[in-house]
Structure 1
């Protein structure tokens, strides 16, 4: 069984839509929405969150929320659970964090790594950076990378949403700082802004304990065409 995910939003439509999007990239992961109030208004419902958490199961559960009061509702729900230890709240942007978490869970990551993948999407401004990170430039430049690689995109659609989510989700769970063509490799949005089509060469630079694993991870995805034609 994989780690499950619960989405808590003030809007039932937002929760349902985010779950629908993430499910396209992680078909084997249980992702449950808990959006809106019990009577269909904008707001959060303790009952909905509890029901989703009790249904989730799996090897732990990661909870993502949209706004501050949704966090409070999720925290309140944890107090009612018999075994809250396996339920972790992620401090991450709802949609990008959800997609990254779902991809990590699909890949078999444990609950801690799934939460880390979600939180890795907050961007370099909110993450601890290695020596040499130049604030405001979005890349590590003054310290030589521990590992590098150049890989040509072979899938027809290039770096669109699904490949970007796979790359970002996997890299966010590693102990490494990674840039791909100058953008944060753990940012799904950043990768999509590259506009990298088929034939584009991705230059990967990585720093940290898992630098070699990070570069190998990107290589394996790219050379396999992300499982696409």
Structure 2
């Protein structure tokens, strides 16, 4: 079993579209949209969210993502009535990028807490609690580094960015890839790195070696793409 995800939006189309996008990168993860009102209007519905939580029950926990204001309140109300022993966590994350990162983490077997962490890391910003060690000249040296050449035809597009960001978000580490936050899907996509580009990875923290090897492994296998 894997962690399951519920998406609460004011728009049924937004919720369904976000789930459709994330499913391309995490086909084995159950994601349930709960958008709009019960009569098809823009808004949120406590009944729809509760039904989505019921549908998502039975896995290794549930992470809930929301879009705006009242969607958060509706989700919180639904959580109060949630049945069953499964852990249900509300993530403070952007719906689309957060969902993709969470789904990739869940696809990889991450715990419900790590899936929520992956979603919330989509806000961007490095985890500065891991600063590395002081090197000559006063600069902080990373604990591990690596250089990896992209071999997949499409280079750094949404799916590779999501796989990198989703995996790194669940680790105790601060990572930069060519200077951008490795746990930010958006940041990675802004690199515009095509086939043949070299990704320079720097990592600091307890999982530094693991993180560099994780990125290197993805790149060496072409992210499972041609």
Q: What TM-score do you get using the length of structure 2 for normalisation?
A: 0.94
User: Which residue in 2 is equivalent to 1:226?
Assistant: 223
Residue 44 in 1 paired to residue 41 in 2? no
Choose which of 198, 204, 229 in structure 1 pairs with 2:201. 204
User: How far 1:94 sits from its partner (Å)?
Assistant: 0.8
Distance verdict in 2 for CA 1:107–1:131, change over 3 Å: closer
Alignment deviations for residues 133-186 of structure 1 (CA, whole Å, 9 cap, x no partner) = 9xxxxxxx9311000000000111111100000000001111000000000000
Q: Retained in 1: the 8 A contact 2:130–2:173?
A: no
* 1:1-150 → structure 2 map (5 Å cutoff): 1-57=1-57, 58-83=59-84, 86-124=87-125, 128-130=127-129, 132=131, 142-150=139-147
Residue 190 in 1 paired to residue 187 in 2? yes
User: How far 1:83 sits from its partner (Å)?
Assistant: 3.0
Q: Distance in 2 between matches of 1:13 and 1:82?
A: 27
Distance verdict in 2 for CA 1:35–1:151, change over 3 Å: same
Q: Distance in 2 between matches of 1:131 and 1:191?
A: 20
User: How far 1:131 sits from its partner (Å)?
Assistant: 5.8
SS of residue matched to 2:24: helix
RMSD: 1.4
User: How far 1:69 sits from its partner (Å)?
Assistant: 1.2
Number of residue pairs aligned between Structure 1 and Structure 2: 220
Choose which of 199, 213, 218 in structure 2 pairs with 1:216. 213
User: How far 1:115 sits from its partner (Å)?
Assistant: 0.5
User: Which residue in 1 is equivalent to 2:151?
Assistant: 154
Q: Distance in 2 between matches of 1:120 and 1:213?
A: 18
SS of residue matched to 1:25: coil
Alignment deviations for residues 35-68 of structure 1 (CA, whole Å, 9 cap, x no partner) = 0011111110000000000010211000000012
Q: Retained in 2: the 8 A contact 1:25–1:99?
A: yes
Alignment deviations for residues 93-147 of structure 1 (CA, whole Å, 9 cap, x no partner) = 11000000000000111101100110111111xx6413659xxxxxxx9311000
